[in-house]
Structures are given as C-alpha cells and as structure tokens.
Chain A
C-alpha cells in the first residue's frame, strides 16, 4: 500500500473529547448488544487496540459497574505479509486469568482497513482457546476490505481513498487523542 508522503496535507477527524464520546458510545453499544457484558472478554490488538480495550472496560465499569476482563492479542506471527517486510518486533499476548474458553471475545483495534489483521487475530485466537463467539470493535472503519470481514461496533466510518491513510493517536501511546486523515486532499 502506498503511504502518503510525510509532508502530505492532513485533516483532523476526531480529537480529544470527540474521541472520548465515540469510545463511550461503543461501550454503551457493547452493553446493549451483550445484555450487560456478562461472560465477555476484551482483547486488544497491539499497539493501539490494547489501550482502547482498557478504555472500553473502564467506561463499561463506569456505566454499569461490570468488570470486563481485558487482555492483549499479538498477531505478528500470524500475519500474511510477514515475509514482505523487514522482521517485526513482537507485541505482548496476555490473556486474562479466566482465559477465553466459552466466553464472548470482543477483539478491539484502532483502524479496520483490509481486514487482514482481523483474519490474523482470528487465527491467533484459535490457538489460545475456544470462545463461544467472537466480535469486533474498531474506532475507525475506513473501508477497502479485502476479506469478508465486518465490525460489530464501529466508532466512526471514514470514507477514504486508497492513497490516503488514517492515523490514530492515543494518549497512552502517542501523548494525545486524535484521529487524522493524511494525504489525498489536494
């Protein structure tokens, strides 16, 4: 995928409290769709899916007082483009103490694009146990799917051109909360 140049024009789509509201809404939707988030585990996909999963769990706890276990699921070793790029460093895989067997797993990622990361995550998850069902929550869906995959919870749909890229920044990782659309705006 061609990356926009570093000096390409960029537009801020979501920032600060807007992003917080979006996370709040996803948390509410999860509560609604899972009847109170019982028997549910949130698994973040590194890097930015992990802090997002923790935020969702914190919001769910704030709204209804339910403790949802949070973990992380590294997909590096399951990617289908491992060999096309330089070797990648591994992220952390940490399951909550209760594991995933028989539970509803909600995968959390920042951007849904080709769907290949989610495919890799499904493969990685299968090696860790047998969840009763798997759902997907993303902060941004930018379209251009290459696999038959859709998200159950979407923070914001951003129509994009392939020449553009979407950059999510989170305070925990990048020092600020922001979703930016880079390139393509001539």
Chain B
C-alpha cells in the first residue's frame, strides 16, 4: 500500500480498486446500529484546513471518528497562521504532536507534496489549489460504480470550469486509470488544449455540450469557480448557463440510465438547474454519503497496517 495520497496519479488500477472495494465494505458497516470500528484506535488524524470547506472536512472527520482515531481539527482562521506562521512551522508542530496522518487542504497547488517532506505520518490531499482532490475522484468513481455497475468503458463527460478544477484533474487521472473514457466539455477559455493533453492522452475535448450528452453514461457538472478567476473567461453568467448549464431540456438528451453528478457546492441556476440537481438522476447527496465510506477506506488502508 502507498504511504501518501497526494495525487490520483499515486494510484494504479489495483490500488484504486482495493480502495473502492474496501469502501464498499465500510459502507455496509455504516448501515448498522453501532457505526464505530476499533481499527485506528490510538491513532491521531489532523485535519489541516487552510481553505474553507464544509463537505470534505466533515467527511474526513466522520470517517476518522468512525474508525476510532483521535481527530484534531485545525483551520487557518483563529490559529497562529493568522499571526504569520509558515506551513513548514505548522507542519513541525504537528510532527512534534505525533500526528499519524495529516489531511490537508490548501490554496497553493503542491502544498501536500511539500508537507510530505516535513512530517513522518501519511499525508492525504484534501484539495490543493487548482491541482488535485484525489478523494473526491475516488468517491465519484465509487458512486459511478455503485450506480452503473462498472467503470471500464464508461463514457464520462466532465463539464465546465476544467481549468480551475482540481476535481476534474483528479477524476481524469483516476477514471482513465480505471478504464473509463473521459470527455472534457466547456468553453475553450476554460479548457486549454495543453492542459487536456497534459492530463491524459486518452482524454477527448469538446466545446459542444449538446453533441456529447446523447453518448454519455455520466455527466459531471463542475462549479464555476469565480473566486479563482482573475480574468473574464466568458461574456456573462447568463451566456455560460445557456451554453454549458445543465437544465431539464438538456438532461432529456441523456440516455435513460445516465446519471448527473456534481462535486458541490453548487451554483444552482448557473451550471446546474435546480430541477436537475433534485431529480432522481442526480447523485449529489449520494456522493456526500459515499465520501465518508471512501475516506474511511483511505484512512484504514494508509494507517491500519504497519
């Protein structure tokens, strides 16, 4: 088993499948009355969050607690970071406290890679800048597999702000490893060709959502990340929504079995219409529930053994 989970590229097909299978067992255990498992008793997991997060932090916290680990939550606000402490000094403090795993979210791409040099414990990337978010990709893959029964040969359209999306990057890496065919869809300004090519040679690019939908098993809508946009990438929100937003009319173009995913948080009415988000095809709430099982699997596989 690997020591860190910094990138979806750390996972080969066998390891990724082991994580998904373990997550399935964890999900079964979560259905029972006593949800607590003793596997990580006495281990300490630190949630180091430099960026705001609801889902991911709560999900990691719940996962670690269900495995009986001690959880320390650290958010940049209200800590010494606001007094100017560097990531390295914070890391050394955690190291001195004996953290067995550090779950880090940071606005700087590559922060988990740096952190892994400074601490002895395992490092789990919970989202770094516009780079990667591997556990999100794992829970997306898990959701697809449990809904559609397979990943190999699955046609997945990832739609929207690919340029700024760590979710998209991790998903492309993981899904292609597991044999799915990924098509990136969005305005040309948000899918630079060199980025798509660098992600994977097997990835296709399209600028026409309506052409891609009829042949997709999964459509994953990405949030338009206005907080990361310094330039204007499209003329107006309204125009973006008209061309790349998923509304009821567009959803009908999907095959009968296809599912609609969104990593959250959603801009309802922008990239996804409220009726679509709340339709039975949408797996958005399911993705959150699966997130806990997948993160339990990751923590168990990273920390459970020697």
Which residues in window 66-103 of A have CB below 8 A to B?
74, 76-78, 82-94
Q: Is the CB of A77 within 8 A of B28?
A: no
Q: How far is it, in angstroms, between the C-alpha of A90 and the C-alpha of B306 when the chains are bound?
A: 16
Q: Is the CB of B300 within 8 A of A77?
A: yes
Interface 1/0s, chain A 17-45, versus B by CB < 8 A? 00000000000000000000000000000
Q: Is the CB of B306 within 8 A of A86?
A: yes
Q: Is the CB of B38 within 8 A of A89?
A: no
What is the distance, in angstroms, from A154's C-beta to the closest C-beta of chain B? 29
Q: Is the CB of A82 within 8 A of B18?
A: no
Q: Which residues of chain B are near A88, meaning CB under 8 Å?
A: 304-305
With an 8 Å Cβ cutoff, the count of chain A residues facing the other chain is: 21
With an 8 Å Cβ cutoff, the count of chain B residues facing the other chain is: 22
Q: Is the CB of A74 within 8 A of B25?
A: yes
Q: Assuming the A-B contacts A74-B25, A89-B21, are A83 and B306 also in contact, with contact meaning beta carbons closer than 8 angstroms in the complex?
A: yes
Q: Assuming the A-B contacts A77-B37, A127-B34, A128-B32, are A90 and B25 also in contact, with contact meaning beta carbons closer than 8 angstroms in the complex?
A: yes
Q: How far is it, in angstroms, between the C-alpha of A172 and the C-alpha of B29 when the chains are bound?
A: 25
Listed residue (A82, A85, A94, A128) with the most chain B CB atoms within 10 angstroms of its CB: A82
Question: Smallest CB-CB separation from B67: which chain A residue?
Answer: A77
Q: Which residues of chain B are near A129, meaning CB under 8 Å?
A: 33
Q: Is the CB of B28 within 8 A of A123?
A: no
Q: Assuming the A-B contacts A92-B25, A93-B28, are A87 and B37 also in contact, with contact meaning beta carbons closer than 8 angstroms in the complex?
A: no
Which residues in window 9-45 of B have CB below 8 A to A?
18, 21-22, 25-26, 28-29, 32-34, 36-39
Q: Is the CB of A87 within 8 A of B1?
A: yes
- Which residue of the partner chain, among B21, B67, B300, contacts A87 with CB atoms under 8 Å? B300
What is the distance, in angstroms, from A31's C-beta to the closest C-beta of chain B? 30
Q: Which residues of chain B are near A84, meaning CB under 8 Å?
A: 306
Q: Is the CB of A123 within 8 A of B300?
A: no
B276 within 8 A of A: no
Q: Is the CB of B305 within 8 A of A127?
A: no
B205 within 8 A of A: no
Q: How far is it, in angstroms, between the C-alpha of A91 and the C-alpha of B24 when the chains are bound?
A: 11
Q: Is the CB of B39 within 8 A of A82?
A: yes
Q: Assuming the A-B contacts A74-B25, A92-B25, A128-B32, are A85 and B306 also in contact, with contact meaning beta carbons closer than 8 angstroms in the complex?
A: yes
- Which residue of the partner chain, among B1, B34, B38, B300, contacts A86 with CB atoms under 8 Å? B1
Q: Is the CB of A127 within 8 A of B32?
A: yes
16 new A-B contacts at CB < 8 Å, known A83-B306, A90-B25: A77-B37, A77-B38, A77-B67, A84-B306, A85-B305, A86-B1, A87-B305, A88-B304, A89-B18, A89-B21, A90-B22, A92-B28, A94-B28, A127-B34, A127-B37, A128-B34
In the A-B complex, list the 5 residue pairs whose CB atoms are closest, starting with the nearest. A87-B305, A77-B39, A90-B25, A127-B34, A86-B305
18 contacts between A and B (CB under 8 A): A77-B67, A77-B300, A78-B37, A82-B39, A83-B306, A84-B306, A86-B1, A87-B300, A87-B302, A88-B304, A88-B305, A91-B25, A92-B25, A93-B28, A93-B29, A127-B34, A127-B36, A127-B37
Identify the B interface with A (CB < 8 A). 1, 18, 21-22, 25-26, 28-29, 32-34, 36-39, 67, 300-302, 304-306
